Amino acid sequence: MTIYKKIIENKKLLSFILIGILSFFLIIDLRQYILPEGLDASWSHAYNYFIENGFRFGKDVIFTYGPAAPFFLNNFSEGLYWSKILTDILISLISAIMICYFARKAGWLPALLLAIAHMYSYGDDTFYFALQISCLFLVAFFENEISNKHKYGLVVGSSLLIGLLSYIKFTFLVTGAFVVLLFASYFFVKKQKKISVIALVAWGSSLVIIWLLLNQKLIDLIRFIATGLQISSGYTPAMAIVGFYKYDICCVVLDCDLRSAGCFANNQVFQV
């Protein structure tokens, strides 16, 4: 009862909680449907079959998508149905929590607009890429305002999320590595070498742990990276590594601008 009264009396905290709840319900999308006939639909359904039957990525399956992809593809699979639903809930919850953090810096209106943008892009490549970049923004915004203990937790949590998203598609593995290296470089320059090491170790450990949790062989991880690099070098711009780096560089520039301005600007999409 005491906690309830504190929340009700603290209007700022109450507004953040309400923004988080609203964001969660705006973002979450539990659709699982049968896709129509077509090339994309066929390989999308095939990924469900690969996971359900223990196929090994990097050996049995060589494609740009990774072993976590079936949990993020909105198509029906009886064997993975509840796993897909729980993944949707988890990602939507994480997104809502991030928006709450941004609301602390920007206020409720930019946070609400961000939630609406998440709602319309949910499930697209840009949505998952934005989550990786959001981790960078969170660290940049709050690292001077929180204790080292909370800072460690924020960096480790961000690294774990980036690690999970890395296995949706190979390009997210590359962009995720770039974001984590930015973490490490940022703290290294600020002479906080311990946090730099923690970020790298947490991300590397998450890649190994999540790979094993997805019922994959550790030796195939090297094959997955090798074949992913080979495919990405000759694929369409949407899959190519270079195409995503353009957005990475723009986000770094945007991050520097936001930090120098000391505020959260309106969300815009930039492309070089």
pLDDT grade for 245, boundaries at 50, 70 and 90: very low
Measure the CA–CA gap between 156 and 149, rounded to whole angstroms. 11
Name the E strands within the chain: none
Query: At 200, which helix (H) or strand (E)?
Result: helix 193-213
pLDDT grade for 82, boundaries at 50, 70 and 90: confident
Measure the CA–CA gap between 25 and 253, rounded to whole angstroms. 32
Distance of CA 222 to the CA centre of its chain: 22
Q: Beta-carbon neighbour count of residue 84 at 10 Å? A: 21
pLDDT at 5: 60
Q: Is 131 exposed, middle or buried (0-12, 13-18, 19+ CB in 10 A)?
A: buried
Instruction: Name the residue with tokens 């990097």.
Output: 58
Task: Examine the pLDDT at 197 and tell me if it is beyond 50.
Answer: yes
Query: At 77, which helix (H) or strand (E)?
Result: none
pLDDT at 85: 87
pLDDT at 35: 67
Which pLDDT tens digit goes with each residue over 23-80? 788 777 777 666 666 667 777 788 888 988 889 998 898 888 899 988 888 787 888 8
The mean per-residue pLDDT over the stretch 111-131 comes to 80
Instruction: For residue 61, give the DSSP letter.
Output: B
Please state, for a pLDDT cut of 70, what percent of the chain lies above it: 74
Q: pTM here?
A: 0.75
Helix 81-106 crosses helix 125-142 at what angle (to 10 degrees)? Answer: 40
Distance of CA 93 to the CA centre of its chain: 12
Q: Decide which of 260 and 86 is more confident.
A: 86
Measure the CA–CA gap between 228 and 63, rounded to whole angstroms. 7
C-beta separation of 199 from 93 below 8 A:
no
Measure the CA–CA gap between 50 and 43, rounded to whole angstroms. 10
The mean per-residue pLDDT over the stretch 3-30 comes to 70
Contacts 24+ apart (CB under 8 A), 49-55: 51/80, 51/214, 51/215, 52/77, 52/79, 52/80, 54/215
Task: Examine the pLDDT at 142 and tell me if it is beyond 90.
Answer: no
- The most confident of the ranges 102-116, 156-170, 201-215 is 201-215
The mean per-residue pLDDT over the stretch 14-18 comes to 71
pLDDT at 126: 80
